[in-house]
Every structure is written in C-alpha cells, then in structure tokens.
Amino acid sequence: MRVLVYYPSMTESDLAQVQAAVPGADIVHAKSADEAAAAADGSEVIMGMMPQEVFARAGSLKWFQSASAGLDNVLFPELVESDVTLTNMAGLYAAAGGEQAWALLLALARGLPDAVRSHGARKWQKVPIAEITGRTMLILGMGGFGREIVKRGAGYDLNILSLDPVREEAPGVAEIRKPTRENLHAFLQAADVVMVACPLTQATYHWIGEEELGRMQSHAYLVNVSRGGIIDEEALAKALHGGLIAGAGLDVQEVEPLPQSSPLWEAPNFLMTAHQAGFSADRHRNVVRFFAENLQRYAMGKPLANVCDKAKGF
C-alpha cells in the first residue's frame, strides 16, 4: 500500500511515526504540488492537501485524509462524485478555535483595539466598553468550534441559541433550530453576539449579508472563526461604517490575505487576525498522531474517524 503524504511540514520523525503505525506501507513524502502529482499514480491513500491536478493523477486513490477541518478547498466535483472516502481533522483544532473566538469578542467588547491605538499614541484615554455577562449569544454551527465556544462561555450566564443542520441539542445551549432563513433572521434579532462557526458550503456562502446585518441589534458584535465566504464583507464594511452593529472580529476572510482595497481596513470597531484560530503549539503533533491512528484503522479494516459527507460538505 502506497501512502502519499503531501504535507510539507512533516519531519523525518513525523514520517517515522506514520510508518510505525503501518510498517508494511510505502510512505512517500511530497513537499510540492509537482512532487505530489508525480507520486499520486498508484497511491491508495493521500494525506494533507489535494489540488485538482494531484487528484486527476490518483487513479488508485481510495481514501483522502485532509489536514484541515474545513473542506471547501477540496470539494471539487471530481472528488465529490468519486468513491474516494474523505476524512478531515474536525475536533483537533476546536479548543484553539473556541479560544480565538472569545479573544476576538472580549477584545471588541472591552475596547482593546481603541486602547491599543491610544497606547501607541501615548494617550491616557478611556474607551467605550460593553458587558457580555447575561447576554444572548447566537452560534452558527454546533460542530467542534461551536461546542468549544459554548464551553468557554459557561461563566458568563449566557442565553445561547444555535442553528445547526444536524444537531438538535447540545450541553449549555438553550435552543437549536434548523438553519433556515426564517430561523436565522429570528435569532439575529434576539442576539447580542453572533459567532460564526459553521463550514462554508453552497448553502452558507454569504449567509450573513446586508439584510442579515440589518436585522442585528445596533449593540451586537459579530465574530467569524470558520470561513470568510460566509459573511459578505462588503456588506459588513458598510454596516460597520454606518454604525448598524457595534463591531466585528474576523479570523478568516473571503480572499486571504485581505486585499489592500478592502473597505474593512478602515472600518471602525473592526478587529482581524490572519486565519490562525485553529493554530497552537500542539497542532502539528496532533495532526501527525491523528493521521497515524487513522491510517492504522484503515490498514486493519476498521471504521475511519471523521468520515465526511462529501455532498453536504462536512
């Protein structure tokens, strides 16, 4: 069995850990798309990234283990329509994602962006702040990130609402509804905080647009730690400049890096990080361990962890 690892940051020690999980496997490491494409033919398993040109040459492929939790970059028609099993890293980055979401929210609510600017200007200046305790929070998506956001909100006496296509209940969540437009609008009107933690699919692309932002309360905050395309950024910039919402924090953008021409750069009460919600010092080690364990399951004919529904996109 040939296993192609297209994950450039893999070290010799990491590859040895993968090899130890399945001693008889032929482990091939590719550090570029060209190397991966050259090694794809004959590979039964591929781990890491999957450009279309690599998939096109992987005629023997049975299982692709994505190194990401989100799948929007690999769900091209040829893969979706194939018999290839797709698994992801859902859950591995969830704790870090939950922390990032709360970091963005608390920074906005406590006026830290303004405080940092005052600091840089050597000004002693009080800034507007808001209190989160006792408020209503809407979480879009009750997957790994969503559940970790709930856990970290346990001490804030929040009324937590959620929209999720699969789950009907979750610890700490007062109400979960199906992600219909009607339910979204109803919950947006009730929320003081909106956390975006759902995958990017055809159904969620620009899910938060001009109409949705207009339904939010003027004191509400919007935070996105999943995928940039879920929020219409032009509409968000307009809402921030117009004072329709209190502020927004984005860890992800529709185009990354955010183009210099984006009006979000000059938007008030806006905080951005560079798509790092799922990162931590433990991330790489956890990815290697998870893949080694899943590869061992595959070799033994056991059910794989984190099998995804390619048609649904998660």
Residues catalogued as catalytic = 227, 256, 275
In angstroms, the CA 198 to CA 201 distance is 9
Task: Give the closest residue to 209 by CA, choosing from 222, 191, 192.
Answer: 222
Task: Pick the closest to residue 35 from 23, 46, 24 (CA basis).
Answer: 46
Do the strands 63-66 and 159-163 form a parallel or antiparallel pair, or are they unpaired? unpaired
Structure tokens at 292: 């080694």
Residue 269's CB is within 10 A of a number of other CB atoms, namely 18
Q: Cβ(197)–Cβ(149) under 8 Å?
A: yes
Give the chain's length. Answer: 314
- Kindly report the backbone phi and psi dihedral angles of residue 97, in degrees, each rounded to the nearest multiple of 5, phi listed first: -65, -40
DSSP structural state of residue 306: T
- In 3-state terms the chain splits into helix, strand, coil percentages (rounded to 5) of 35, 15, 45
Burial (Cβ within 10 Å: 0-12, 13-18, ≥19) of residue 48: buried
Residue 243's Cβ-count burial label (10 Å; 0-12, 13-18, 19+) is exposed
Give the residue ranges of DSSP H helices in 127-282.
Answer: 144-152, 181-190, 210-215, 233-241
Closest CA to 30 of 22, 21, 39: 39
Q: Is there a contact between 147 and 94 (Cβ–Cβ < 8 Å)?
A: yes
